[in-house]
Structure 1
Amino acid sequence: MKRIQTFTFLTLIAFLFSCQNQAQVNTKQQAVINASPIEVPLDNGLAKAYFASGCFWCVEAIYESVKGVTEVYNGYSGGYTNNPTYELSNTGRTGHAEAVEVIYDPKIVSFKSLVDVYFGSQNIEQVNGQGPDNGSQYRSIIFFQNDAQKQIILEKIKALETQENISVAAEVYPFQKFWLGEDYHQNYERLHPNHPYIRRISIPRLRKFQNKFPHLLKSTH
């Protein structure tokens, strides 16, 4: 009886994960993956880049610390529904992941360096999440706006997989649209330094990144 129960439990888990993965690559999601990228024009010399890598509070704080980055916004991207919200994206049924919009000066920091920051500040092997946050809404996605950016991303992934003999979990999507998140999610780490999640997860992740890439950090003076 115990073996049957164990088998049934494992079968159920496998089924749930299968459903979750299937939800990520349904017809609507596949259309997003196959779409042509949309290139965001420069605005007063500033460019925009888009990344998803677990909780956007963490990713926002990381990119905010990079020199050449002028602002970071939290929101949602990579999905197939309009006007996603925090509550809706958490259901896993919108296709969206928590993402950030990074506004930067390409004369100071390159897209290639931002890609290095991206892969250097996460567990690149973790599927459907980062750290304690799991689910399709926390999956890692890196977005490209043109062929040059796509090539930079693919070359970085190939190098990581070859050098470290691993499989990179991040999905590579053509950028389509960034939906700005709710006001209370913006500048979260800076405004809520004593929040238990920030103290336990966000700040250690930020410190780990800063120790790894000191040459990319803004001056504290």
Structure 2
Amino acid sequence: MKNIIIIAALAVCGLLLAKMDVFSKKEKPLTSKITENEINDKQNVIYFAGGCFWGTEHFFKQVRGVTATEVGYANGNFDNPTYEQVSTGNTGAAETVKVTYDPEIVDLGLLVDLYFKTIDPTSLNQQGNDKGTQYRSGIFYADKNDEKLIREKIKELSKNYSQKIVVECEPLRKFYDAETYHQNYLDKNPGGYCHIEPGLFDMAKNANPPKANDFKKKDQQTLKKELTKTQYDVTQNGATERPYDNEYDKEFREGIYVDITTGEPLFISTDKFEAGCGWPSFSKPISEKLVKETTDNSQGMTRVEVKSKTGDAHLGHVFDDGPKEKGGLRYCINSASLKFIPKDEMKAKGYEKYISLLNKKS
């Protein structure tokens, strides 16, 4: 029996060592939309090749709704190529930008239309001063459902040209990230080479502006469909979630807290503090105009209830036992009433103008 146990243990160790060996190698798993959705089901991915990837990446970084970019080498004929190898034009790989985006903020159709503005779609294996198959133009999809829209967009584009459109529309077969120094290259080297006309960056920045009337109260049927049971009970029925067992009690990253029912900004992380009460606590809202306070005599107590003004959603209560150096107030807020937007996502999700608040002390 002991021998059997020892053999089994050695087998398990062998499997673990084998996995460690796989992940220690330079080659990385291929990126696909399925992988992305396992991380965040609201994130979609598309891949754009259009000449030097430095400029293409910087261009898409400007678009509201694009949450991440990465430059790399796509659809080559061997694995994990280096920049030097790709530069020979013999690998079959194209310099490509992986664009991750939130489809609730920006749609694929707009991204494709913007991409067309950065290239000459009739130029084969060349954009700007860059020549070679590694600089060919193409849109590579990880989701088969994206193919139809992309082909329709290319067909529509062709009506504006007498020459043949040479933009590839292919499934993503391989994608390997480029060396670190290529990532966010123009952010680190503002004067670096770029084949894209500088004015297009401003165009991309303004291509998908947030709507002025985004923050509106929704009807009960819509809220029941969009919110969890706890979120609905808290915001619509004035319920209170469990202390210490909620999403944002221990959340202290930089970012903004918005009304879960409307998306309207309510609190900022610089005003959040550890109160030890089991719920997120803030010294003040972003603006007093965003909340309304009423007397609450429920539960045998007299308290001051806090609601969002636009959404009329129950948020929590305000007490006068907060830190004196922060004004003495404690806005004790249910996590279920809020949605947290981390600082690095604020621009993409339309909250860019609030980023400056994170640099101010309370």
Asked if 1:183 corresponds to 2:180, the answer is: yes
Task: Give 1:206 shift.
Answer: 4.1
Q: Deviations over 1:102-140 (max 9, x none)?
A: 111111111222111211221111110211000001111
Q: Over aligned residue pairs, what C-alpha RMSD do you find?
A: 2.1
What does residue 199 of structure 2 align with? 207
Contact kept? 1:58, 1:206, Cα under 8 Å: no
CA distance in 2, matches of 1:118, 1:206: 14
| Larger Cα-atom Rg | 2
Q: 136, 152, 155: which one pairs with 1:155?
A: 152
What does residue 14 of structure 1 align with? none
Question: How many residues are aligned here?
Answer: 179
Asked if 1:135 corresponds to 2:127, the answer is: no
- Name whichever structure is richer in strand by fraction: 2
CA distance in 2, matches of 1:78, 1:130: 18
Q: 58, 62, 69: which one pairs with 1:61?
A: 58
Q: Deviations over 1:59-117 (max 9, x none)?
A: 00010001101111111002111011100001111110100111111111112221112
What does residue 92 of structure 1 align with? 89
Q: 201, 204, 208: which one pairs with 1:216?
A: 208
CA distance in 2, matches of 1:130, 1:70: 26
Contact kept? 2:63, 2:207, Cα under 8 Å: no
Name the TM-score, length of structure 1 as normaliser. 0.74
Task: Give 1:145 shift.
Answer: 2.7
Unaligned stretches of 5+ in structure 2?
1-31, 210-346, 354-362
Relative contact order, higher structure (CA 8 A, sep 6+): 1
Relative to structure 1, the CA distance from residue 69 to residue 211 in structure 2 (aligned partners, 3 Å threshold; closer, same or farther) is closer
Unaligned stretches of 5+ in structure 1?
1-37
CA distance in 2, matches of 1:65, 1:182: 22
CA distance in 2, matches of 1:68, 1:39: 17
What does residue 119 of structure 1 align with? 116
Name the TM-score, length of structure 2 as normaliser. 0.46
1:30-45 equivalent positions in 2, closer than 5 A: 39-40=33-34, 41-42=36-37, 43-44=39-40, 45=42
SS in 2 for 1:75: strand
Contact kept? 1:51, 1:100, Cα under 8 Å: yes
CA distance in 2, matches of 1:194, 1:162: 36
Contact kept? 1:120, 1:209, Cα under 8 Å: no
- Name whichever structure is richer in helix by fraction: 1
CA distance in 1, matches of 2:207, 2:52: 25
